[in-house]
A = this chain, B = another copy of it.
Amino acid sequence: MKISFRGDYALKAILDLALHYNKGLVRIQEIAERQDIPIKYLEQILLALKGAGYLNSQRGAKGGYYLAKDPKKIKLGEIIRLMEGPISPITCVSKSCYKRCTEETKCVFRPLWNKIRSLTEGVVDKVSFADMCRDYEAKNKKKLDMYYI
């Protein structure tokens, strides 16, 4: 698996909205500024995430985006797959590829790619955005402690 900017931006956008879960609408521009993402690019990404059911939005003045699901119920792996495609070091491990390894019994590397895929999935499909929010806040608290202690 490889994370591109697009995927990275998507994860950051969802995290940003998860941190504002049940706290009203968030404008694209706010997310773009906080997460340092080009706004016009972010627009496209948010639309894709909305299309996939992760976000809802409201147009017009006072409009904005908000998370459509509980952050506890969104795993990182879902977003990564949506933005980057199947999680696998080589395409032919995923069912959608018929190109390589047509004689699959011949490919002696395949078990390794499967192993790596399943280890990777073991990470990204276990962690939710609620977990990420917790980590984020813990990290922030720690920082504040440094000032107050």
Q: Which chain A residues have a beta carbon within 8 Å of chain B's beta carbons?
A: 1-3, 5, 8, 11, 15, 76, 89-90, 100, 105-106, 108-109, 111-113, 115-116, 119-120, 122-124, 127, 132, 135-136, 139, 143
Contact = CB atoms under 8 A, between A and B. Distances in A.
Copies per assembly: 2
B120 A116 contact: yes
Contacts of A89: 1-3, 120
B108 A135 contact: yes
A127 to B, nearest CB: 6
A105 B138 CA distance: 12
Contacts of A120: 89, 116, 119-120
A98 to B, nearest CB: 15
A124 B11 CA distance: 27
B132 A109 contact: yes
Contacts of A3: 89-90, 113
